[in-house]
Every structure is written in structure tokens, then in C-alpha cells.
Amino acid sequence: MDAEHIEGPDGLRISLPRDDEYRTCSVCGGDCEPEPNVVEGFGVRVAFVCPEHGAQSMVDPFSDLR
């Protein structure tokens, strides 16, 4: 995924996708709702979920730091 990097709090580098395709439902083309997900040992990820068709993608904003 092509990403843009921005400076976050305390010098933390945050990666953001350059387009919105990651949050579009592959079935209906609708905009998916972000749902934060925290898993101990794996960090924070954001799932994008279509209310009608379920989870569509998972974004890890800190993947380049792992």
C-alpha cells in the first residue's frame, strides 16, 4: 500500500494510505466504518467494516515501525 507519512505526537511517525480504496466495500461500493482494534503484542489496527457486508480491510498505521 502506498502511504504518506506524517509526524504524530512525541515524534511518532504515522502512515496514512494515499487513497480511500482501503475503506470502500468490495461488494456494494459503499463507505466502510472504521473500527479500532487493539491486540496485545500486535498493537493498533483499524478495521473498515461495511454495515451490510462485514469487514473489508485492516490498516496498520504503524506497520513500517515493526
How would residue 29 be classed by pLDDT, with cut points 50, 70 and 90? very high
Q: What is the mean pLDDT of residues 1-13?
A: 81
Task: List the domain range (segments joined by +) for residue 9.
Answer: 3-65
Number of folded domains that form the chain: 1
Round to whole Å and give the CA distance between 47 and 55: 7
Q: Which of the two residues, 1 and 25, has the higher pLDDT score?
A: 25
What is the pLDDT at residue 21? Answer: 82
The better pLDDT of the pair 17, 45 is held by 45
Residue range 33-60: mean pLDDT, rounded: 90
Cβ contacts of 11 within 8 Å, gap of 6 or more: none
What span, in angstroms and rounded, lies between the C-alpha atoms of 8 and 24? 25
pLDDT greater than 60 at residue 34: yes
